[in-house]
Structure 1
Amino acid sequence: MTPGFLRSAVILGLLSCVGPFAIDMYLPALPKVATELDGTIAAAQMTITSYFIAFGVVQIFYGPLSDMYGRKPPLLVGLVLFIIGSLGCAFAPDVSWLIAARFLQGLGGAAVMVIPRAIIRDMHTGTQATRLMALVMLVISVSPMLAPLAGSGLIAISDWRLIFLVLAFVAVLSILMTLFLQPETLAPEHRVPVSLKAIGRGAKTLFTDPVFMGLTFVGGFGMASFFVFLASASFVYTGFYGLTPVGFSLAFAINALGFFAASQFAAGLGERFGLIPMLTWAVSGFLGATLMLLALVLAGFDQLGVVILMLILANACLGLVIPTTMVMALDDHGDIAGLASSLGGMLQMFSGGLMVALVGPFFDGTPVPMVAAIAICAVIAFILMRLTISARLRTPVLPV
């Protein structure tokens, strides 16, 4: 592994942390937000959902803009929007204001999710891209492991509003890193003018590609399962199991550890066994772990240790699924990598937001709705995986 490869992973990983930090640092504060702003649990969860919706909708714009102007200018615009949204959250007088500010924050945070993917595609394809994507995810792994603990610490010394001031400061540091450490990876001669006709043509290519759409939604429903966990876990772990905010943060970090540890093996396993066989086994493992968890919870074995253990296994499978589907979906669309990345991200965020919205009315503070929704995501991902692999095997595969 060359120093330049590792340097790219660290920079892109740190930039990509901004969006997840806006979610993970805030999770321990959700119950307090609901109480302090006189909102319901559903209203507090809506502050998560509004972020996801904005995060998804705007991705369709960042990709084409990065194809036209290069990767860095749209990235900087997104970070500025993120700062404004974070400050709006910090001074929100009520839950409606907070929901709106979180929406603005999501509009900015999407840039640091879409554009690093396109940067990776600018530099590598195939298993090399999978390896870099996995290294980026290793850096991102500090978010679910440290961000909730950081949020709990900030709540202990002040209140939840300080979390958003810290996020604004982190975004400022990210702007400086983008300006001075991240090189532009899209040369002027490779840039594509933005036009509705070009976007429509590219979108039609992607929407009519069953492999791209299938891989996008396989990863999307894998991510949706995690979004359901994000929106529900703080209430389940603190309300049903009686954990403190710090205890929840530790449990959350343990749950996420399986994902990021497994993601580091994605490239190696893909090289050894092939990406398609690895994806098949990983999605099957995700399905098996989540269905077993649901069966145990319904049978009354809903102890905290059981839930955490089974989620570790499920998330370990997702650690192989998500980076692999991201890379495979973009491999055949290098000429419109920005648009493909943004469209794929938008569809995945909609999948996650939809699942959170659907499970909200059924949430009763117990683990059942949460694990049932996660299992449903796994079933959908498995069905899509089988259909997509059939389409992939019928389509000529470009060398990687």
Structure 2
Amino acid sequence: MLRLKSPATVITLAALTALGPLATDMYLPAMPAMAAALDTGPDQVQLTLSLYMAGFAAAQLFCGPFSDRFGRKPVMIFGFSLFLVASLLCAFAPSIEWLLAGRFLQALGGATGPVLGRAAVRDIYGPIEAGRILSYMASTMSLAPALAPIIGAGLLLFWGWESVFVLLAIYAAAMLPLLILALPEPLPPERRQSIHPAAILANFRMLLGQRTFMGYTLTNAAAFSGLFAYLSGSSFVLIDFLGVSPFQYGLFFTLIVAGFFVGTLLSGRYSHRLGRERLVGLGSLTCALGGSLMLILALAGVYTTWAVVGPHVLFMIGMGVLMPQSMTGALAPNPHCAGSASSLFGFLQMSIAAVVGSTVAQLHDGTSQTMAIVVALGGLLAVASFLGLVRPAERAMKAQQAEGGEP
């Protein structure tokens, strides 16, 4: 059994959390091929991504509160088992309808990794140190989305799109014994919460009325929507419109993830020096600059690979700075219900992203313009949420602390 505060535990939590990006990113290069194989249109295949996010969002409302009551490990074990079965259903789906059903079930199980991984870090490290640990976890975890599209492209080339989901099933099967036998339970019994519906709703109501929680959550959700717009539309823009191969798409995606990796390293390194609020502001501004540059190039008719990939690398640097700090900011004031806070945070993040993703799919015009518009809006709304909610909330909290009150 691993020690709670150890590098091995952090790496294990990162591996469990990586299930989310793996299930999202590995099959992206295969989306055009899936549309052809299942005799359906791009909008239906893109719906598998939006439906996954919708299911992911819904599951988070339940897995967090249940983990506050029964512990993080039992809920994760159930989730990974469900993900394993759902991945096999996707692999052998005979039609787009079966694939959509499998993706929804995948989401219900896969949500437990990211949600409870965040909550476990908050359990173990507390409100201040959690930001630094989540930043370095994100750096480690960025290997998953960096390699996932390249692996997916290779699997598509040699064994077809179905093999992507077989590999996801194998990953879940490998994580289960590690989860059962090696990971200690991070939530002590004295901090367990009731799962009575009234108690859960009371926690959610409290969080929705908490300006600090909502500010950090909406800032994150706005930027994440820009990222999800890229995930939803980039394979059709780059492969179908600009003519890159699935393997080249995987290589370009690696550059995108490299930007995120750089951002997470900056976030971890300067966490103590600059502070959470300033890093979230800098991250959201960088997202807005990257998205706006992509939009300007698209509206000017500059339809090249680098006009899409280059600005999004900048966007992802901002995302890497912003994401771990905004997660910590949302969870920091709520140690008594970290699972519920992580659930609601993820629900709002994924729900907004799912709506955005379906919008990109429905309005896709065959060029990069629709995707660029939504990426730019995501960055700009992140800045607006930071300025309108996060900054006033942090200033009010500091003023209250200076007066000797409770934060």
TM-score bracket relative to the smaller structure = over 0.9
CA apart distance, 1:5: 3.6
**In structure 1, the residue corresponding to 2:18 is in which secondary structure?**
helix
Q: Cα deviation per residue 1:131-160 (whole Å; 9 max; x = unaligned)?
A: 211121122111221111111111122111
- TM normalised by structure 1 equals 0.96
Read off the aligned partner of 1:70 and give its amino acid letter: G
Query: Could you tell me how far apart the structure 2 residues matched to 1:15 and 1:28 are?
Result: 23
- TM normalised by structure 2 equals 0.95
CA 1:302–1:127 in 2, change beyond 3 Å: closer, same or farther? farther
Q: Say yes or no: does 1:297 pair with 2:280.
A: no
CA apart distance, 1:349: 0.2
Read off the aligned partner of 1:323 and give its amino acid letter: P
Match runs of 1:6-25 below 5 Å: 6-25=7-26
Query: Could you tell me how far apart the structure 2 residues matched to 1:399 and 1:302 are?
Result: 54
Read off the aligned partner of 1:391 and give its amino acid letter: A
User: Do the aligned residues in 1 keep the contact of 2:128 with 2:332 (CA within 8 Å)?
Assistant: no
Query: How many corresponding residue pairs?
Result: 399
User: Do the aligned residues in 1 keep the contact of 2:67 with 2:75 (CA within 8 Å)?
Assistant: yes
Query: Could you tell me how far apart the structure 1 residues matched to 2:353 and 2:6 are?
Result: 31
Counterpart in the other structure of 1:262: 263
Query: Could you tell me how far apart the structure 2 residues matched to 1:170 and 1:242 are?
Result: 31
Match runs of 1:1-400 below 5 Å: 4-388=5-389, 389-395=391-397, 396=400
User: Do the aligned residues in 1 keep the contact of 2:127 with 2:331 (CA within 8 Å)?
Assistant: no
Read off the aligned partner of 2:396 and give its amino acid letter: R
Q: Cα deviation per residue 1:117-138 (whole Å; 9 max; x = unaligned)?
A: 1100001134421121112112
User: Do the aligned residues in 1 keep the contact of 2:252 with 2:309 (CA within 8 Å)?
Assistant: yes
Query: Could you tell me how far apart the structure 1 residues matched to 2:307 and 2:132 are?
Result: 32
User: Do the aligned residues in 2 keep the contact of 1:286 with 1:315 (CA within 8 Å)?
Assistant: yes
CA 1:22–1:362 in 2, change beyond 3 Å: closer, same or farther? same
CA apart distance, 1:75: 0.3
Q: Cα deviation per residue 1:3-62 (whole Å; 9 max; x = unaligned)?
A: 944212210111111121111111111001100101110000001111100000110101
Read off the aligned partner of 1:394 and give its amino acid letter: A
Query: Could you tell me how far apart the structure 1 residues matched to 2:345 and 2:127 are?
Result: 17
CA apart distance, 1:184: 0.5
User: Do the aligned residues in 1 keep the contact of 2:76 with 2:112 (CA within 8 Å)?
Assistant: yes
**In structure 1, the residue corresponding to 2:270 is in which secondary structure?**
helix
Query: Could you tell me how far apart the structure 1 residues matched to 2:127 and 2:202 are?
Result: 25
User: Do the aligned residues in 2 keep the contact of 1:125 with 1:327 (CA within 8 Å)?
Assistant: no
User: Do the aligned residues in 2 keep the contact of 1:287 with 1:378 (CA within 8 Å)?
Assistant: yes
Query: Could you tell me how far apart the structure 2 residues matched to 1:51 and 1:229 are?
Result: 16
Greater displacement, 103-112 / 224-233:
224-233
Show structure 2 runs of 5+ residues with no match.
Answer: none
User: Do the aligned residues in 2 keep the contact of 1:228 with 1:355 (CA within 8 Å)?
Assistant: yes
Q: Cα deviation per residue 1:93-112 (whole Å; 9 max; x = unaligned)?
A: 10011011100000000000
Q: Which runs of 4+ in 1 moved over 4 A?
A: 397-400
Q: Cα deviation per residue 1:176-220 (whole Å; 9 max; x = unaligned)?
A: 110122111111122112111110111111011121012101111
Query: Could you tell me how far apart the structure 2 residues matched to 1:22 and 1:399 are?
Result: 42
CA apart distance, 1:383: 0.9
User: Do the aligned residues in 1 keep the contact of 2:261 with 2:320 (CA within 8 Å)?
Assistant: yes
Show structure 1 runs of 5+ residues with no match.
Answer: none
Query: Could you tell me how far apart the structure 2 residues matched to 1:379 and 1:5 are?
Result: 38
Query: Could you tell me how far apart the structure 2 residues matched to 1:309 and 1:153 are?
Result: 24
User: Do the aligned residues in 2 keep the contact of 1:72 with 1:184 (CA within 8 Å)?
Assistant: yes
**In structure 1, the residue corresponding to 2:224 is in which secondary structure?**
helix
CA apart distance, 1:399: 10
Query: Could you tell me how far apart the structure 2 residues matched to 1:341 and 1:183 are?
Result: 20
CA RMSD of aligned residues (A): 1.7
**In structure 2, the residue corresponding to 1:125 is in which secondary structure?**
helix
User: Do the aligned residues in 1 keep the contact of 2:132 with 2:271 (CA within 8 Å)?
Assistant: no
Read off the aligned partner of 1:84 and give its amino acid letter: V
User: Do the aligned residues in 1 keep the contact of 2:232 with 2:360 (CA within 8 Å)?
Assistant: no
CA apart distance, 1:267: 2.9
Greater displacement, 226-235 / 268-277:
268-277
CA apart distance, 1:298: 1.0
